[in-house]
Amino acid sequence: MGRVTVRRPVRMLSASGQRRRPDALAAEEPLELRVGGRSLAVTMRTPGNDVELAHGFLLSEGVLGDREDVATARYCDSVDDTGRNTYNVLDLALAAGVAPPELGVERNFYTTSSCGVCGKAALDAVRLKTRFSPAGAPFPVTTSMLAALPDALRERQRVFAATGGLHAAALFAADGSLLAVREDVGRHNAVDKVLGWALLEGRVPLADTGLLVSGRASFELVQKAAMAGVPLLAAVSAPSSLAVELAEENGMTLVGFLRGDTMNLYTGEHRLTDLA
C-alpha cells in the first residue's frame, strides 16, 4: 500500500528568520477503479481504505446496495520500475445478477481530488435516484450534540494533524458518537470511504446515521449521502445552492457553517428536537 504521508525538505521562512526542516505532506496518488476488468474511474486519492472507497463510490453511483453485490476486489496490473505493485489499480468483480454500471458518452467518470462529478455532462446525469430514500428516517438530534461534532472529528484526524492537508468525513449516531472516520485529499473520496465502510459492515441503508464533513457541502456530497439513505448531512463550511436544493428534494436535513455553538439549518428542521 502506498504511503499516507510523504516527508520532503522545506525552507521555512518567518519574521524571526529561516530554517530548513523536513515537512510531512499528505500523499496523493491515482487510483484506477475497474469493474469486471473494465476501467470505470480514475481518482486522485490518499492511499488507504481503497476497497471501502470503491464500494462507497459504486454505492453512490447506484450500482451497489449490499456488500454481497461484490464478489471479489483485488489489486492488479500496476507496477513501478522495480516490478513492485503500486496498489493503484483496483478491480471489483460483481456478484451474479448485479448489473454493471452503464458507460456512455454522457458520463465521464474521471474525477480529481477536489471534485467528484467533474466531466459529467448534464445535471440530469448526476441526479441519481436512491433506492434508500432518507425522507422517512426520523433521526432525532439536538443542536448541542451537533455543535460538539467538529471537535470530536478533529481529535480523530491523525493525518491532518501531521500534514494539515486532508479532508475528513465521519458517520455519527444520534447521540454524537463517531462510528467511522476517514481522511483523504479529496472530500468526495473521504465520503466514499466512510460509506464503503458502512456497506461492508452491513449498515446500509444509513437511516439511523448522520454524515459530517470537514469542508463545504457540495452537490455531490449530498447526492452520495442520499444514495446511502443518510438523513442528515452536517458540514463545517458552506453548502452550495444545488446542495440545498437536492437535500430538500430528498427530505434530508442539511446543516452548514457548523462551528462552535453556531450553525445554519437549511433543510429538514423537524429532526432537531430542541428547536423552539
Residue (of 120, 149, 116) closest to 236 by Cα position:
149
CA distance 66 to 53: 15
- Output the pLDDT for position 85: 75
pLDDT > 80? residue 117 = no
What rounded mean pLDDT belongs to the chain? 88
DSSP 8-state assignment for residue 67:
G
Arithmetic mean of pLDDT, 240-250: 94
Does residue 26 or residue 32 have the better pLDDT?
A: 32
| CA trace torsion 53, 231, 168, 65 (10° rounding) | -10
CB atoms within 10 A of CB 187: 25
CA distance 27 to 47: 7
Integer CA distances (angstroms), 107 to 119, 126, 139, in order: 7, 9, 34
CA distance 119 to 205: 28
Which is catalytic among the residues 24, 42, 44, 115? 115
Does residue 47 or residue 103 have the better pLDDT?
A: 47
Q: Tell me, what amino acid is at 129?
A: K
Residue 115: active-site member: yes
Beta partners for residue 30, in sequence order: 44
Report the DSSP pairing between strands 167-172 and 210-213: antiparallel
The tens digit of pLDDT for each residue in 129-150 reads 789 999 999 999 999 999 999 9
pLDDT over 90 for what percent of the chain? Answer: 72
Phi-psi region for residue 219, left (φ > 0), alpha (ψ -120 to 50) or beta?
Answer: alpha
CA geometry: angle 264, 267, 270, nearest 5 deg: 100
pLDDT > 70? residue 252 = yes
- Output the pLDDT for position 54: 97
- Output the pLDDT for position 116: 54
Contacts of 227 (CB under 8 A, 6+ apart): 59, 60, 61, 62, 128, 130, 132
pLDDT > 70? residue 161 = no
The tens digit of pLDDT for each residue in 162-205 reads 666 689 999 999 999 999 999 999 999 999 999 999 999 999 99
- Output the pLDDT for position 105: 35
Whether the Cβ atoms of residue 50 and residue 119 lie closer than 8 Å to each other: no
- Output the pLDDT for position 108: 47
The tens digit of pLDDT for each residue in 61-85 reads 899 999 999 999 999 977 777 767 7
CA distance 227 to 204: 10
CB atoms within 10 A of CB 94: 18
Most confident of 77-81, 103-107, 220-224: 220-224
